[in-house]
Structure 1
Amino acid sequence: MDRFFSALLLLLLPSLSTSVPSDPFYFDNNIDHEDPTSGTYSQRFYQTIDHFKGPGNPIFLVFGGEGAVPPSTGLFYPYINEQLAANLSAAVLQPEHRFYGASQPAPKTNDNLKKLMTPQQALNDAANLVTSFRAQAGCATTPGEPGYCPVIAVGGSYPGFLSFSARLTHPNVFDASYAASAPVHFYAQQVDGGDYYELITKSAERSMAGCPESVSKALSDVQADLQDGDYCFDMSSQLPSGKSATISSGDWSGVGTGDDGEMWDWQTCSLLVERIGFDAGRSMFLQRDWTMEWMAEHCSKRFEVTPDPLKLANDWGFADIESTGLTRVLFTNGLNDGWAVGSVTTVSDIANAEERDLIVMNFDNGAHHSDLSHSEPGDDDTLDIQKGHADIQDLMNRWVKDIMLG
């Protein structure tokens, strides 16, 4: 039985990070981008300019996501920091997301979080940072002008959504987007609650035949044992911080623990609502229906906030990408990844997608943004990821040339 659980854990747990420890930098960013009188806060970020050759060369803006980024983690993705940066003579900037780690704009009161802990504020943080870097580097300000520095937004998972959104909402700052495992359809509320764990179950069966059946039986046995006894377990180490915390929280794929878990719970309780439930008829997990009623009650007790699942999609229009006029976005997906059910895996329904440079690369053997791995690209990557890295490099080179032409 142990080998079945080992296979399951490989599918469910995030990849172990072997990112590059780095010294942090700090940038004075706006506390509230909607209130110019709000003052500034010190936002932690990381950068490498080892390969940057100054004006006329690109900048990768790698979004931080739902977790602190200490110096021991530093720069996330060797594929970006080394391979693409070297190939394109590019700089890499990587801001830590506000309200995680050392990047704290204000005390974490509910009133502050409602105004300040939003994807909109995080996108403005990134736009300010890269605009400042461009100016300090002496880059020209207009595409096609000599010395212009194209900016390519990069991210995986929630940061992949931010990367996509940066191109959508700040097209005059971000010239292109590389969005890996980006849950666009989750945040447009276009995913059925049972889809996520159904795909996880299919991936488990593909990884090891019979795994889902064994997991289902094991979970049923555990449930029966717990119901037969009067047990008490200390699960506090698995809880996020804050009042009325629950292990499931707002993200039923896993919200995390401690302060990071609390902030991600806040985000998934407010604007980033994810319909992820457990359908025993479609997955190896025990039945537990996700409902908006449960979510609303949880979020009210936890943060005195009401989920607003369609606000971003309504404000930015990404429930219908074709209508947005969006251009120059690469969507990548590992098809063993549960998030693939809510990611952009096809653009066949978007008119003129090819002319708009809306491009999808799906990896049959890929997992959660495995093209943006924390490890060096190499022979350990599957063949489709290796080919993907080569194709992405070619695409980035073409995009930079196109942008430089104006």
Structure 2
Amino acid sequence: MMFQRLFLVHFFLLLSLTTATAKRLNTIPRLSPIGPRVWRDQPDKTTLGEFDGEDFETFFYNQTLDHFNYRPESYDKFPQRYLINSKYWGGANVSAPILVFLGAEEPIDEDLAAVGFLVDNAVQFNSLLVFIEHRYYGKSIPFGSREEALKDASKLGYFNSAQAIADYAAIIIHIKETLRAQYSPVIVIGGSYGGMLASWFRLKYPHIALGALASSAPILYFDDITPQDGYYSIVTKDFREASETCYQTIKTSWSEIDELASKPDGLSMLSKKFKTCNPLTDASELKDHLDTMYASAAQYNRPPTYPVNEVCKGIDGGGFGDDTLSRIFGGLVAYNGNLSCYVNAHTDPSETTVGWQWQKCSEMAIPIGVGNNSMFPPDPFDLKDYIEHCKSLYGVPTRPHWVTTYYGGHSIKLILQRFASNIIFSNGLRDPYSSGGVLENISDTVVAVKTVNGSHCLDILFAEENDPAWLVTQRKIEIKIIKEWINKYYADLTMF
């Protein structure tokens, strides 16, 4: 364990030394249903709800390393973790449904504690619940150890979305064979990157999954299908709608940070004003931290805390002074709570930090930039710099066009109308990643369910008693659609 930790620290330091040429690669919040846990005065949402881990039994499947080659090393195996809850299942005899959550860029334990759509609806579906962990995360590690699996690009080369959904296909087939549930319909569910996986799974493996719920899945944020400034345009809109004065303060703060940093002892003054954990060596440390805070607040702007509103209250309140930078510090405190220090605190890198960095550098090249009409300084996405940065990390260049080549994306309406069915794309329009989501119905069975006030993956988290009416309605619509898929499937079974 200690060796693994030291390996991750060493790897993270390597990444940190090469970030200057690709800032956008590092400041964009990762694709995750859960979001940061920063609220000091609020109970952690992931500890609430109806989750009971005792109802889940853990299994390990002897997974194939490489599903797409026949070289001897392709047949190597690794243990892949999945969990099953059969408490509410109606059984194979009545072909009761199977709801499968497709894990993404984190250990499956985190999803189990936060993603409640399956558990919340297990009774009315009489469904078997399955959570599958993504390869290279949690306990699903090839090559015997994490340090070996992350050693170099030759080992990381098996770490991609196509291998991941092939893993899921193998495990689902294994479960159905083991339980003799050949005719039980399968619905796959995922959020964010996992939502992309769910939609892609339905497209690639329609014979295995009857349908897919893809929550906050920005499948169109590749290959310049979506305007590059879409993400930060929505972040800006969220803050401006919350408070015009807050928006204006943030917009003017960047130049004031630069101005102060350029003065003798300016970085020292900034370090003191923002109570940084270590002295600032460059103004970009502070600006990147604030950039990430505002983006995260917007992406996860959900009840009951609504972090965008809280940040703006801190900025507008002037509790630390009336000047611009004091107000910005007030927003920092409002978001994080009262801490001994803020900004550039030492944190050990998580396996997600390391793993998602590889995924972004290999195939998940989402070209997010900042345009001229936002509260952030313009920072256009530079594909050449992005590729060179990733090549300096791993020795192999990014494949920025592979996602649209393999899964589609261009002319999405025409393609999905011709070849797809039974997919729900759900989005909250306050989520910056919704700018890359499917927001219009494609056909009668490829549908978009969106809410004006919704945030990232809110619909698949545990339901709470005080959830707003629009969120309750969104979930009811999704459940109704899935029930229609399943009922039609049962009707079709009687015809064969």
TM bin, normalised by shorter chain, reads 0.7 to 0.9
In the TM superposition, 1:299-378 aligns within 5 A as 299-321=390-412, 322-324=414-416, 325-347=419-441, 350=442, 353-354=443-444, 357-373=445-461, 375=462, 377-378=463-464
Q: Aligned AA for 1:112? A: K
Report the counterpart of residue 183 of structure 1 in structure 2: 218
Give CA-to-partner distance per residue, 1:231-260, whole Å, 9 cap, x none. 488999xxxxxxxxxx89xx9968x94331
Range with bigger deviation, 316-325 or 116-125? 316-325
The 1-side partners of 2:452 and 2:112 are apart by 30
Decide whether the 8 Å contact of 1:118 with 1:271 is kept in 2. yes
CA distance in 2, matches of 1:364, 1:42: 42
Give matches, 1:193-342, under 5 Å: 193-228=228-263, 229=265, 231=267, 257-279=349-371, 281-321=372-412, 322-324=414-416, 325-342=419-436
- 2:455 equivalent to 1:388: no
Superposition deviation, residue 386 in structure 1: 0.7
In the other structure, the counterpart of 1:68 is: 107
Provide Cα deviations, 1:175-222, integer angstroms capped at 9, x if missing partner: 101001111101353112211101111011223343221222233322
User: Amino acid of the residue matched to residue 34 of structure 1?
Assistant: F
Partner Cα distance (1:288, 1:259) in 2: 28
Q: 1:396 to 1:43 in 2, by over 3 A?
A: same
Match of 1:131 in 2: 173
Q: Tell me if 1:95 matches 2:132.
A: yes
How far apart in 1 are the matches of 2:258 and 2:82? 45
* Alignment correspondent of 2:13: none
State the secondary structure of the residue aligned to 2:262.
helix
Q: What secondary structure sits across from 1:149 in the alignment?
A: coil
Change (3 A) 1:17 1:129: farther
Structure 1 residues 21 and 379: CA distance shift in structure 2, 3 A: closer
1:161 equivalent in alignment to 2:196: yes
Question: Which stretch of structure 1 is more off in the superposition, 309-318 or 50-59?
Answer: 309-318
**Superposed displacement of residue 270, structure 1:** 1.2
Residue 289 of structure 1: how far off its partner (Å):
2.0
> Which residue among 85, 107, 113 is the counterpart of 1:48?
85
Counterpart in 2 of 1:58? 97
Shift of residue 286, structure 1, vs aligned partner: 2.1
Q: What is the Cα-based RMSD across aligned positions, in Å?
A: 2.6
CA distance in 1, matches of 2:133, 2:427: 23
Q: Which amino acid aligns with 1:344?
A: V
Q: Distance in 1 between matches of 2:456 and 2:112?
A: 20
Displacement of 1:13 in angstroms is 5.3
Give, in whole Å, the separation in 2 of the partners of 1:52 and 1:88. Answer: 8
Distance in 2 separating the partners of 1:405 and 1:340: 35
Q: Is residue 34 of structure 1 aligned with residue 120 of structure 2? A: no
Q: Kindly provide the amino acid, as one letter, of the partner of residue 400 in structure 1.
A: I
- Alignment partners' CA distance in 2, 1:66 and 1:194: 24
Distance across 2 between alignment mates of 1:207 and 1:323: 38
The normalised TM-score by structure 1 is 0.82
Q: In the aligned structure 2, how far is the partner of 1:13 from the partner of 1:225?
A: 32
Matched positions, count: 363
Query: 1:128 is aligned with what amino acid?
Result: A
Are the counterparts in 2 of residues 43 and 103 from structure 1 also a CA contact under 8 Å? yes
The reply to whether residue 77 of structure 1 matches residue 105 of structure 2 is no
Structure (1 or 2) with the greater helix fraction? 2
Provide closer, same or farther for how the CA distance between residues 54 and 218 of structure 1 changes in structure 2, counting only shifts above 3 A. same
The answer on whether the counterparts of 1:58 and 1:90 sit within 8 Å (CA) in structure 2 is yes
Separation of aligned partners in 2, 1:138 and 1:24? 19
Q: 1:174 to 1:113 in 2, by over 3 A?
A: same
- Structure 1 stretches of 4+ moved >6 Å: 232-236, 251-254
The residue type paired with residue 61 of structure 2 is F
| Amino acid aligned to 1:151 | V
Q: Is the CA contact (8 Å cut-off) linking 2:198 and 2:214 kept in structure 1? A: yes
Deviation of the 1:276 alpha carbon: 0.9
Following TM superposition, by how much is the alpha carbon of 1:290 offset from its aligned partner in structure 2, in angstroms?
1.4
Per-residue deviation at 1:78?
1.8
Check the 8 A contact 2:225/2:409 in 1, yes or no: no
Residue 121, structure 1, aligned to residue 163, structure 2:
yes
- Structure 2 match to 1:402: 488
1:312 counterpart SS class: helix
Alpha-carbon distance, 1:167 to partner: 0.4
Helix, strand or coil for the counterpart of 1:389? helix
Q: What is the TM-score of this pair, normalised by structure 2?
A: 0.68
Q: Distance in 1 between matches of 2:491 and 2:86?
A: 24
Contact 1:186 1:274 in 2 (8 A): yes
Identity among equivalent positions (%) equals 22
**One-letter code aligned to 1:187:** F
Task: State whether residues 103 and 111 of structure 2, in contact with CA within 8 Å, keep that contact through their aligned partners in structure 1.
Answer: no
Moved more, 263-272 or 187-196: 187-196
Provide the rounded CA distance (Å) in 1 between the counterparts of 2:243 and 2:108: 34
Q: Distance in 2 between matches of 1:76 and 1:26?
A: 22
Rg larger in structure: 2
The runs of 5 or more residues in structure 2 that have no matched partner are 1-33, 38-43, 144-148, 279-287, 297-346
Preserved contact between residue 334 and residue 362 of structure 1 (Cα < 8 Å): yes
Conservation of the 8 A alpha-carbon contact between 1:204 and 1:211: yes
2: distance between equivalents of 1:182 and 1:117? 20
2:243 and 2:425 map into 1 onto residues whose CA distance is: 28
